[in-house]
Chains A and B, each alone.
Chain A
Amino acid sequence: MGSSGNGAPPPMGSSGNGAPAPAGSAAIGAVDPVLFEILSSRLSAINDESAMTMRLVSGSPVANEAYDMNVGLMDADGECFAIGMYITIHSLALSATVKDIKRRFADNLGIGPGDVFMSNDPYVGACHQMDVAVVAPIFWEGELVGWTGSTVHQIDLGGPVEGQVQIGATSIWGEQPLFPPIKIVEAGRTRSDVEQGYLRRTRLPHLVGLDLRAMIAGCNVGAARVQDLIGRYGLDTVRAVIAGVSSATEARFRARLAELPDGTWSHRGYIEYDDVYPVVVEMTKRGDSLVFDFTKSADQAGAVINCTRPACVGATVAAVLPYLCFDMAWSPAGLQRAIEVRTREGSVVHAAWPAGVSKATTTGSFMATIASGVCLSKMLAATEDHLDHFMSTWMGGLYVEDMFGIDQRGNFFGAAILDAMAGGSGARARSDGLDAGGFLDSPSAIIANIEDIEYSYPLLYLSRRIQADTGGAGRYRGGNTLAMTYVIHDVDELPTKIMHAIGTCQPGSIGVAGAYPSNTNQFVIKRGTNVRALLDGGAVPTHIDEVDGELEIFADSIARTSQRPDDVYRYVAMGGGGYLDPLDRDPRRVQADVIDGVVTVAHAAEAYGVVVASDGTVDSEATEARRAEIRDQRRRSAAVPAMAGAAGA
């Protein structure tokens, strides 16, 4: 894994070929086009440096190893004109937080040079309570000229249940404590009373405290570098560039939309919880604007799985960025001028107070991104001109495991295992999705090295590998995902193990234009196995079927349990969706997949109708017969809904 496969965007303001963007050239006003390119690229580099600073200061593997974080730069009004290349929805939430701070602090405490604010309040702007936002104003000669912001996903912020998922909560009162925007640093001095109040609530004060310092450091670096830029080029010039970046992005984005067909695309995604909660979106494109209408989504749950409206808006933009903005500056402010997001208060994607949202980024807002992405992919499939930019559905349900206990050194620890971020990517129009390609929300998604995880936590991985047949079958198949098995190591028990996902009963990564979806998320534990005896004997079982024991299958999408030394745990993350009918796949591609071990012989015959012999060759005659047989099955087993009088659209 590594890059998303669709490539990180070029520096802000760039046309992608080194020349200024024609569509945005009018927007940069009096600034020399060459200088505009230099300064807009510099602003992008400042974001990169802020993010690097945050990673280096943070002690959390979430930031260091899995990059579950991001940064952003905003103008004086809080409009975000540049985001970092990490988890995009993090940065998209910063703008709402800044706007709230400007209202809240204008007359009481004030906003001054050297101040830094923090918040984890989703009803203000945070994606969910765990994604703490830290923002700082940027002043120049006493005048507020912009804001810098950073976020890192926290492993624990208190609440009745360890970690992210507040099992059993019926409202936000049963979830993690909320921090509406508070001033954590005043005139350059950290307010220790506020810091202590914040850290008092978490089970992991040292880790959370270091992350707080890391976010503050990221903001400080960003602010200092912007001030350096103003000192060198002048405030008027930098302001013009900031305004120009957003305007240029808006112009380029609208031009792209104008090239695409008008129409309406719809998708229903699902969140499994105490019931099934559909997230329904209808995306209508007319001319040079987009409307995402989520109003038909399910009513909200009491807690846990909802997201607030700011998170839904951010999630929608997070889908637009990789599908349509791959060659322009990622300026949310510019994009949002051409995008309208409609939501219904009281729904699962627009929670009404006091509904809980503790798991929002892997439920409500995550599915809003996926559903929006499905619509965007189908719009791209509707024109030959943009088919090269088509991507089928990326990993449509993120699995996370939170764990807490005593580690191999005798210390209390908490962790969020994020290996499942290496899901499969969606198929492209003329190539397969990437195996373990990452996920749509982050151009820089990575997962931790096994050795780092084993060093930090009392775990011993037996395997982590590409799981065959998990990518959606298609003429171009979706990327396969990872499967992992591990046992606990050097401890007597892992007492708290919370496994949570959506897409456990249905695959979120649907296929497009006749392709199949991916697999579903799966987690099981085989209890009381002979794994220790096998390891003591020098054998390393790498598959759960290679150990004897009693298989425990978890029926719910959220499960809390424990793990003992003889228990073997396995989970399978989610792959990507395919593109077009798999019976049209070139048999040679199927053969290559079988040889590579990413498609089994059985799946080749069942889904692709390709018969691969034991020597690895394709039996052409048998393949032709098998494909004819599948088509005949289709004819005999199906009926036309309109002829049968079925209701529906």
Chain B
Amino acid sequence: MARLNEQIEIAGGGAGARHVCRCGRDLGPVTENYKRHALMREGPVQNAGPWVDPHSIGGDRFVCRQFFCPGCLTQLDVEIAQRGEPLLWDARIRMPDEPEGAEGPEGANGPEGASKPEGSEG
């Protein structure tokens, strides 16, 4: 079975293929960023670990985004970003029978056009 990694598999084929957590929870179509269908918590970059910028020299410029499966609450990804940057679409598998042009939005991962993501502080 195709997969993004050991935690997120891909069910189905072609343009109808979908991300699925190992617990069976649907995480959206492969033509979209799975992170948009996961639970997200955005907080200070220090949430990433006890030795991450302990003196806060970066101020609040960087954030730590944690993504969890809504079903089993497994942590799916930890993304470090500048506050307000779009979510990073970090992994996109191309299905063997997928039609051309189904890759999703262009330019989604650029530094420009940032918009503030929602989510509670952790």
Contact = CB atoms under 8 A, between A and B. Distances in A.
Given A507-B80, A513-B77, A637 B94 contact: no
Q: Is the interface of B mostly helix, strand, loop or mixed?
A: loop
A402 interface: no
Contacts of B54: 522
A589 interface: no
Contacts of A261: 2, 93-94
B35 A510 contact: no
A553 B57 contact: yes
A516 B75 CA distance: 10
Contacts of B82: 270, 276, 278
Interface residues of B, number: 70
Interface string B67-89: 11010011111111110011111
B5 A512 contact: yes
Interface in B45-62: 45, 48-55, 57-58, 61-62
Nearest to B53: A520
A520 B78 contact: no
B80 A517 contact: yes
Contact of B58 (A268, A272, A524): A272
A70 interface: no
Contacts of A267: 88, 90
A634 interface: yes
Interface string B106-122: 01111100010111111
B93 A641 contact: no
A216 B27 CA distance: 58
A458 to B, nearest CB: 28
Contacts of B15: none
Contact of A648 (B45, B66, B86): B86
Given A266-B109, A504-B57, A581-B74, A572 B37 contact: no
A239 interface: no
B39 A638 contact: yes
A95 B63 CA distance: 40
Interface stretch (A28-36, A56-64, A438-446, A468-476): A468-476
B16 interface: no
Interface string B25-49: 0001000110111111100010011
Contact of A505 (B3, B45, B88): B45
Interface string A262-298: 1111111010100010101010001000000000111
B87 A505 contact: no
B107 to A, nearest CB: 7
Given A282-B109, A518-B49, A580 B6 contact: yes
Contacts of A278: 82, 111
Contacts of B55: 522, 524, 553
A649 B81 contact: no
Contact of A266 (B4, B58, B89, B94): B89
A648 to B, nearest CB: 4
Given A520-B52, A572-B51, A580-B7, 17 more contacts: A261-B93, A265-B92, A267-B90, A272-B58, A280-B111, A382-B93, A387-B6, A469-B49, A506-B58, A513-B4, A513-B6, A518-B51, A581-B74, A634-B68, A635-B39, A638-B119, A641-B36
Interface of B: 2-8, 28, 32-33, 35-41, 45, 48-55, 57-58, 61-62, 66-68, 70, 73-82, 85-94, 96, 103-105, 107-111, 115, 117-122
Interface of A: 261-268, 270, 272, 276, 278, 280, 282, 286, 296-298, 378, 381-383, 387, 429, 467, 469-470, 472-473, 504-507, 510-520, 522, 524, 553-555, 572, 580-584, 602-603, 606-607, 631, 633-635, 637-642, 644-649
